[in-house]
With several copies, the nearest count.
Chain A
Amino acid sequence: MNLDFSPEETAFREEVRAFIAENYPKHLTGSGLRDDMPPEDLVAWHKILGEKGWSVPAWPTEYGGTGWTPTQRYIWSEENAAVNAIMPLPFGTSMVGPVIYSFGNDAQKEQHLPGIRSGNVWWCQGYSEPGAGSDLASLQTTAVRDGDHYVINGQKTWTTLAQHADWGFFLCRTDPDAAKPQQGISFILIDMKTPGIEVRPIKLIDGGYEVNETWLTDVRVPVENLIGEENMGWTYAKFLLAHERSGIAGVARSKRAVEQLRDIARKELLDDKPLMEDFDFARKVSQLDIDLSALEITELRTLAGEEAGRGPGPESSVLKIKGTEIQQRLTELTLEAVGHYGTPYYRDVPDAGSNEYPIGPEYAQHSAASYFNMRKTSIYGGSNEIQRNIISKMILGL
């Protein structure tokens, strides 16, 4: 038992660090993803990685994966987190991509995988529906066969960044008479330019527009766009959800955020001394630090299990719960650190960027919005309540 990286792993770290330093777009360094960025910024790094052949490390090598070990992938994510890199969006690379190479036919692989790898095709996810929430299988969107086409009608929601999407993958009910809600669902790829699709942005409590409602009205989709077998979509959907959960602990990013929090707390004052020297505040930061250490080792243990061939099972639910709790706590403490300057609503400040007096320190500007926005993490990707249900059933056997 030891925590050391092998010489090969250390060399790998140096290689990727150098590559990132040289190639990551300078104007994006450290900024992280925000919904109000120009869309080309969101895929800039993806496109660079596509050219390098590093955009889909976890894929099988025959489809363009890098063949890295789980430890190498961990190092890769750590190094990217260090510059707060905007990684390839998951909808193509981690969600539909693996479904296509696992269950799609050759034509589908040929048509779609290159665009996903290169970042030239933007994908979105059509899973959730209004009213469905954690009960995904209760979906109502229908796909009715009409000759060589499916005619699709329904409404999807929480379609992240669909405003920029070229393609989407959708779960639709193809057999309304199936015995169970999980049956009779099909997994269909849809060109987002098809007539009848309307994407309406949803304003969130932080003021941003990262998700959408997507309305489908008599959308005609060629039957070739069906993945796998008709009515077997739930199988592919579950496969996809298991993929989605890996990496959700977000340890590397949270470590970086703890350092940013410490930086802020060194600049903010309490009783004329750095807030970081206030015992109350220092204690909260140390608690977060300790919780994050525990999560990191837990993730490494899971990773070690993966390398030994034990796939990520229900333990990933623990990573999701603790990971999101830490992410939320981080933004809560950051908001607390900035004091009064968490109150202004910076998005709507008139004449922002003008020569007027600034409002508070720059690091305060996203503090409230981030705190509000991060409440989503314990809701999405299977709410933390659902994760507890999973652990209760799968691990504790209750």
Chain B
Amino acid sequence: MDFNFTDEQNMVRDSLTRLVRENYDTETRREAISSESGWRPELWAQIAELGLLGMPFSEEDGGFGGGAIDSLVVMEEFGRGLVVEPYVPSVVCAGGFFKHGGTDAQKEEHIGAIVDGSRVYAFAYAEPRGRYDLADVDTSAKKDGDGYVLNGHKAVVIGAPWASHLVVTARTSGDRRDKAGISVFVVDKSADGVVTRDYPTVDGRRASDIYFENVSVSADSLIGEEGKGLPLIELVTDEAIAAQCAEACGAMKVAIDMTVEYSRQRKQFGVPIGKFQVLQHRMVDMYTEYEQSKSMSYLATLKLGESEKERKSAVSAAKVRIGQAAHRIGQEAIQIHGGMGMTDELAIGHYFKRLTIFDSEFGNVDHHMKRHIALAAS
């Protein structure tokens, strides 16, 4: 058993801490997310230069030989700064598909572009009717000569406005909710028939609803085997969840620190509100929730390489526990900040909003509780 990070991981964390401190204070972030593009490509380039986008890829794939624990380190720090840049969509999701399912040619083309930051990818999986069911895929990919033609509507694709390429789940056979018959494609966003509707999200990121209207893709756009995409999708999604759990932990920690600090400064009836025992115990409960969350974030990441059942069970357990903690910590942080917590001016509200939306990404508490129960009974 070992809960220590390697020296290299600690170095990465240190450089990220610096990067976030220098580029992600509340005011700078506010400006960046309310700019027209909503992000900072130059910061992404800087992150790429630091080698951070190559961490979780093997050296032969063009990365730096790390893995999920490296992504955990990155995302904890991203969470601390509420960094909006698309590490999860591009590196963890798209990168994960190529890493686990890509051909050598795909790896060479795409992982290289991910690692050097020259291309940004987004992962288009959710659909309006499917809620959190990864197998509920109505978007179709019909065989057409050597290639495929895509039609369908993908909902709330995080980071899509910044992406040049999309990884898309689509049905090549079977009925809408069949587990079999799902395939994964990489699609150039500038292809004919890709219609995007871009918008900001309540937690400061950007997303798109994407319509595929007879989009032709070549045969080599298929990632993995035709019709057998679901296990790959589940694996990559679990990796994305583990990364976002780490992100949530980073955000929670800062939210708690801010709340404790605010309670030390803010006086009511002549004393700092942090002296009121009721608020003390509630902040202790926030801290305890965080400590449990951090443990679950580690567990999820450390189990990613285990058997499918162990992996899914640990990831769902983490998503449940951290989803619950994220809600509670976010709500309590606002309450203890009082009226000031309600203002856009203070950073705490932005942490609250990010922690709120965390729950609905890749399946909420109820969804993962159901998966956990089903696995326990299996």
**Interfacial residues, chain A to chain B (CB-CB below 8 A):** 1-5, 71, 128, 131, 133-135, 138, 157-158, 202-205, 207, 268-272, 275-283, 285-287, 289-291, 293-298, 300-301, 303-304, 308, 315, 318, 321-322, 332, 335-336, 339-346, 348-350, 356-357, 359-360, 368-369, 371-372, 375-376, 378-380, 383-385, 388-389, 391-392, 395-398
Contact = CB atoms under 8 A, between A and B. Distances in A.
Interface of B: 1-5, 69, 126, 128-133, 136, 155-156, 158, 177, 195, 197-203, 207, 209, 211, 260, 263-264, 266-270, 274-281, 283-285, 287-288, 291-293, 295-296, 298-299, 301-303, 314, 317, 320-321, 327, 331, 334-335, 338-339, 341-345, 349-350, 352-353, 356-357, 359-360, 364, 366, 369-370, 372-373, 376-377
Given A205-B349, A318-B291, A270 B131 contact: yes
B339 A388 contact: no
A297 B295 contact: yes
Nearest to A297: B295
Given A205-B344, A335-B356, A282 B376 contact: yes
A341 B155 CA distance: 8
Contact of B372 (A290, A300, A376): A290
Could you tell me the dominant secondary structure of chain A's interface residues?
Answer: helix
A303 to B, nearest CB: 8
A286 B203 CA distance: 30
Contact of B360 (A339, A372, A398): A339
A134 B356 CA distance: 26
A340 B155 contact: yes
Nearest to A290: B317
Given A291-B321, A294-B296, A2 B302 contact: yes
Contacts of A291: 292, 321
Nearest to A6: B1
9 contacts: A158-B339, A275-B131, A295-B295, A304-B2, A376-B339, A385-B281, A391-B287, A398-B264, A398-B283
Contact of B202 (A128, A285, A344): A344
Nearest to A344: B199
B376 A289 contact: yes
The 3 closest A-B pairs by CB, nearest first: A297-B295, A205-B349, A294-B292
B334 to A, nearest CB: 5
Nearest to B5: A1
Given A290-B296, A291-B292, A300-B1, 9 more contacts: A1-B2, A205-B343, A205-B350, A278-B366, A286-B369, A343-B202, A350-B199, A368-B357, A389-B277
A10 to B, nearest CB: 12
Given A277-B377, A297-B296, A378-B335, A343 B342 contact: no
B343 A203 contact: yes
B220 to A, nearest CB: 30
Among A2, A207, A396, max chain B CB count under 10 A is at A396
Contacts of A383: 335, 338
Nearest to B285: A388
B330 to A, nearest CB: 9
B299 A134 contact: no
A295 B292 CA distance: 7
Contacts of A380: 339
Given A291-B321, A398-B260, A398-B280, A300 B3 contact: yes
Nearest to A393: B280
Nearest to A135: B268
A388 B280 contact: yes
A230 B198 CA distance: 58
Contacts of B370: 280
Nearest to B69: A1
Given A290-B317, A290-B372, A357 B339 contact: no
Nearest to B374: A282
Contacts of A321: 288
B321 A294 contact: yes
A207 B344 contact: yes
B295 A269 contact: no
A367 to B, nearest CB: 10
Contacts of B269: 135, 138
Contacts of B195: 357
Contact of B356 (A301, A308, A371, A395): A371
A89 to B, nearest CB: 19
A320 to B, nearest CB: 11
Contact of B302 (A1, A205, A272, A318): A1
A318 B338 contact: no
B348 to A, nearest CB: 9
B156 A344 contact: yes
A304 B1 contact: yes
B211 A357 contact: yes
A180 to B, nearest CB: 12
